[in-house]
A and B are shown apart, each in its own frame.
Chain A
Amino acid sequence: MSDKAVGTTGGPVPEARKHFWLIDFFIRLVREKPMGTFGGVIVLMLLFVGIFADFLAPFGYNYINLKAILVPPSAGYILGTDNIGRDLLSRIIYGARISMFVGLGAATLDVLVATLIGLISGYFGGKVDLILQRFVDAVIVFPALFFYLAVMAIVGPGLLQVIFCIGILTGIGSSRLIRSAVMGAKQNVYVDAAKSIGASNARILIRHILPNVFAPVIIIFTIAMGAAIIAEASLSFLGFGIPPPIPSWGGMLSGPSRKYMVDAPWMAIWPGLALSLVVYGINMFGDALRDLLDPRLRGGVGGMGAYGSEKASKALAKRTEKSLRASVQKNE
């Protein structure tokens, strides 16, 4: 692209990369996307708390103190205790670990499944695509929560079951994004060139197509992570996700916390706040990533200044016109 002439912030662009690309990326993130950076910090906090839960939590997640039942937030129990005397702060901290596992695990599976189906369907096209897409269509017409519940009814509750159920089912849906990206990448001349020198399909797919669908993969990952955390919380809330006493934020909002919520509202407030904050962080960070990685797939003009959104909407207008034309052609 002709990004060389004007920098995204409007100033002149340095001629060559001075740093490793990841550092460059972080510099751009902090400079251009303050809200995205804030989201990124929340995500990092989730990872930190999740990994070091054992050291951070003052009590075990299932340590029961029958002398301290339904204690309001106080010096000894910063966030209060629940109906059987467990420290809520500790349970929230261990809950972060569960959300981290679910978010990362399900998002990874989602991306793997989506990439596999998307690559095959998009690259080979024709009959393969037609048949595969009917399966994808069949999966996405099920309202997600109903489908999760039906699958969970068969495989039973548990952390791994939840991760696999959410990861695979959402992955089938997100494969459509990868598929369209692959179909775009396939048009490039270098793919024809690779074919003409006799490269195998596997080599073309891995060496030439896959690196070009990297942006949608990252975007799917961030979207899937937030969605998976909410989905797990919903399932646990309904009682079909992660079984007690393991502290899932969604599970902490169900059962006893609903029973005692009038007397002990803190039982219902903290897990929900934690959940909202983390999903908010992931959404903001994901939005910023989307803007930085691939302007075509942006859902809304994120937290940019006037110049950025002006520039972005111009680029977007051009892109969407093109893709609208393409989709009209596809729909005929």
Chain B
Amino acid sequence: MRGYLVRRFVLLIPTLFIVTIMVFLVVRFVPGDIVDMMVAEMSDLGEAATEDEIDIEWVRHKLGLDVPVHVQYGRWIGRIILHGDLGNSLWTQRPVIDDLRARIPVTFELSLMALIISVLIAIPVGVYSAIRQDTLGDYVGRTFAIAGLSIPNFWLGTMIVVLPAIYWGWSPPIEYIPLVDDVSGNLGQFIIPAIIMGTGTSAGLMRMTRTMMLEVLRNDYIRTAWAKGLTERVVVLRHALKNASLPLITMLGARIPGLLGGAIIMEQIFCLPGMGRLMIAAINNRDYPIISSVNLIMAAIVMFCILLTDISYAYVDPRIRYR
């Protein structure tokens, strides 16, 4: 087990290195005319918080574009590793890390709730669909799954904001309620976007559960379990589902990037101040340090989740553990 973990970590290092280079290039590739544009916009709005005169050299210096590339990269990565310093916003001059610290919990909470909801839907429906194959319930479940895959989240979200507003005059809260202030208010605010994201995600998961269950249920040891006179509950849950759930763990890990990406849209529709809204605001302001930092953090979170998935896979499946 330890050897396996060590290998997983070692393989992570080159990937992380390439990720940082790609993120770094996002800023580096900012075309020159964009620097000009930023200068023009900044002096128009007079938004730069320093007294320095805003000119091309100043912006280039702020972006760190005035030294050779490898020096830029070294400085940037050095600051991140040594001080946890992701740079400052070009507009507010606030450290990016402060913004992120406020935003990450929102996106994290939303994605986690969506993940939990998707599992809560996918596993029971998938299992039911498999043990009652080709019955009405199976068809309903599968139709739901295909619909969930096809209906775009942002449309579903929009409809859920619009239709109740038309018929009942209800609309979701615009103001963000922090979890520490009001637990039920916060959860009430998150539950609708989380359900929308969760149902979309559950579709693929449900199909996978059904396929894996169908496969496992035809194994000899399941027939043995039936022959022993075990109840359906025990056969299905303890014997079949346990074995069918192995690939589901991998699949769950693979869903995480999609969930985090989908959070952008839900945050936008339901006015939640998460990473997605930060990203969109940063793009509108051409705030490149924020754009690259958000991407770096997101990639790091996903890598961590994939690692976690692999570890839990190894933990559940002894065939991997004892190698």
Contact = CB atoms under 8 A, between A and B. Distances in A.
Q: Do A and B come from one complex?
A: yes
Interface of A: 134-135, 137-147, 149-150, 152-154, 226, 230, 233-234, 237-240, 250, 253, 258, 261-262, 265, 268-269, 271-272, 275-277, 279-280, 283-284, 298-301, 305-306, 309, 313-314, 316-317, 320, 324, 328, 331-332
Contacts of A324: 247
A80 B15 CA distance: 51
A300 B158 contact: no
Contacts of B166: 262, 265
17 contacts: A138-B19, A138-B22, A141-B257, A143-B258, A143-B261, A144-B257, A149-B279, A149-B291, A234-B154, A237-B154, A262-B165, A276-B152, A279-B152, A299-B204, A299-B208, A309-B133, A313-B218
B41 to A, nearest CB: 14
A306 B149 CA distance: 24
A143 B18 contact: no
B299 A240 contact: no
Interface stretch (B49-57, B60-68, B209-217): B209-217
7 smallest beta-carbon distances between A and B, as pairs: A272-B155, A145-B261, A300-B207, A280-B150, A138-B18, A143-B261, A143-B260
A143 B155 contact: no
Contact of A238 (B218, B265, B292): B265
B306 interface: yes
B162 A134 contact: no
A232 B46 CA distance: 35
Interface in B281-312: 283, 286, 291-292, 294-295, 298-299, 302-303, 306
B2 interface: no
Nearest to B13: A134
A331 B320 contact: yes
Contacts of A317: 215, 218-219
A39 B146 CA distance: 12
B26 A150 contact: yes
Given A134-B15, A146-B295, A262 B261 contact: no
A272 B158 contact: yes
B262 A261 contact: no
A276 B18 CA distance: 36
Nearest to A147: B295
A150 B146 contact: no
Given A150-B292, A154-B26, A280-B146, 11 more contacts: A146-B260, A149-B283, A230-B152, A240-B283, A268-B158, A298-B211, A317-B215, A317-B218, A317-B219, A324-B247, A331-B320
B323 interface: yes
Contacts of A144: 257-258, 261
B170 to A, nearest CB: 12
Contact of A141 (B19, B31, B208): B19
A328 B295 CA distance: 32
A153 B286 CA distance: 8
A301 B209 CA distance: 11
B264 interface: yes
Nearest to B31: A154
B257 A143 contact: yes
A141 B142 contact: no
B159 interface: yes
Nearest to A131: B14
